[in-house]
Amino acid sequence: MHFLDQAKIYVKSGWGGGGAVGFRREKYIEYGGPDGGDGGKGGDIIFEAVPGLNTLIDFRYTQHFRAQRGHGGSGSNKTGAGGDDLVIKVPVGTQILADDEERTLLADLTKAGERIVFLRGGDGGRGNASYKTSTNRTPRQHGTGWPGEEAYVWLRLKLLADAGLVGLPNAGKSTFINAVTNAQAKVGAYAFTTTRPQLGVVRHKGNEFVVADIPGLIEGAAEGAGIGDRFLGHIERCKVLLHLVDANDVDVGESYRIVRDELDAYGAGLLDKKIIVALNKIDMLDDELIAALSAELEEASGAEVIAISGAAGIGLDWALDKLLEAIGPDHARVSEDDEGEDELEWSPI
């Protein structure tokens, strides 16, 4: 399935149904009077966040959405049926933005099952029975129904993850997420192996949390270099970032600063998040060199550095401990595999 995180669509709620012009016509009843019913309300446009979706690819092929029009009224004071609401299902984490220069945020769907009535359908028109007065006993006027609302909007998906991975291309992010989660991210010995965000679920010490891997950043990403920084939006919701630095880089301190400068240029509070720094790919290095590189990276970052290897599985528990501590027990979910472990087996005695 292709990944798409932005889409522009047109939405329109339904028109209200027209009111009826009718007069009561029954045997032995003279001058029955007006009995035209009102029209039905037009259908609403509703957005609903549903689990199981992680792309907006469906909106590449379907871009116009119109709710049903309300049905017209009829005689005998019968109100027309309302038009069916149109429910547009989107992934959890979808934002609805106005089609203006500022891309004003109109709605943010962050919970599964969350629904919003985005455009309300038009009210039905009045039937002629509602126009009857003491001086207008046989009205023939009626309402045609009120128009629905319409708009062009942008949908933008920001994946929901507890932790995010950042680093230069080939820093080992895909290898790390494959090692600690159920993800199957592509791994290759060339830059920009990852071309779209990846999600994986970590199960660690009876808890589980979601990790997001995004394409690597290079110097000038904020100006569009490489893949650019557009995928950084997918880690805006993360509680902690794991910054991976390749131990084989010529200058690990400079590698750290490049990515940090791009995060700063992007903004959105990314540098205000808890950031864990990890020296990756240490499996081919001796202890002395690992210590020297870790010290160099600590000096550049001003933070504790953990030494790991995603490919060899070295230090992964240490890294997961740090992530779990930063996420906090209130946000990490209890793993289903561990639920009920402390319960005693049933016994008839």
> Which candidate, 246, 242, 247, 215, places its Cα nearest to that of 228?
215
Contact 57, 3 (CB under 8 A): yes
In terms of domains, do 48 and 185 share one? Answer: no
Range of the domain at 94: 1-157
Confirm whether 344 is domain-assigned.
Answer: no
pLDDT value at position 190? 58
Q: Stretch 74-95: mean pLDDT, rounded?
A: 94
HSE, CB side, 13 Å, CA atoms: give it for residue 144: 2
Confirm whether 290 is domain-assigned.
Answer: yes
Confirm whether 346 is domain-assigned.
Answer: no
In terms of domains, do 131 and 170 share one? Answer: no
Q: pLDDT band at residue 245, thresholds of 50, 70 and 90?
A: very high
How many domains does the structure of the chain reveal?
A: 2
In terms of domains, do 174 and 101 share one? Answer: no
Residue 180: give its domain's CATH number. 3.40.50.300
HSE, CB side, 13 Å, CA atoms: give it for residue 44: 10
Residue 64: give its domain's CATH number. 2.70.210.12
Query: pLDDT digit string (tens) for 295-321?
Result: 999 999 888 999 999 888 899 999 999
Which residues have CB under 8 Å from 97's CB, separation 6+?
103, 104, 105, 106, 153, 154, 155, 156
In terms of domains, do 147 and 168 share one? Answer: no
In terms of domains, do 284 and 226 share one? Answer: yes
In terms of domains, do 14 and 115 share one? Answer: yes
Q: Stretch 123-142: mean pLDDT, rounded?
A: 93
Confirm whether 66 is domain-assigned.
Answer: yes
| Whether residue 97 has pLDDT greater than 50 | yes
In terms of domains, do 120 and 191 share one? Answer: no
What would the two tokens of residue 26 be? Answer: 């029954």
Binding residues for Mg(2+): 174, 194
DSSP 27: T
Q: Stretch 208-229: mean pLDDT, rounded?
A: 79
In terms of domains, do 116 and 91 share one? Answer: yes
In terms of domains, do 192 and 297 share one? Answer: yes
Q: pLDDT band at residue 343, thresholds of 50, 70 and 90?
A: very low
pTM more than 0.85 = no
Strand partners, 155: 7, 96
Please say which residue of 157, 190, 221 terminates a domain: 157
Strands of 115-119's sheet, edge to edge?
Answer: 86-91, 45-50, 115-119
Confirm whether 296 is domain-assigned.
Answer: yes
Q: Mean pLDDT, the chain, as a whole number?
A: 87
In terms of domains, do 153 and 34 share one? Answer: yes
pLDDT value at position 199? 85
Binding residues: 167-174, 194, 213-216, 280-283, 309-311
In terms of domains, do 276 and 175 share one? Answer: yes
Confirm whether 342 is domain-assigned.
Answer: no
Rounded CA separation 45/209 (Å): 33
In terms of domains, do 119 and 169 share one? Answer: no
Binding residues for GTP: 167-174, 213-216, 280-283, 309-311
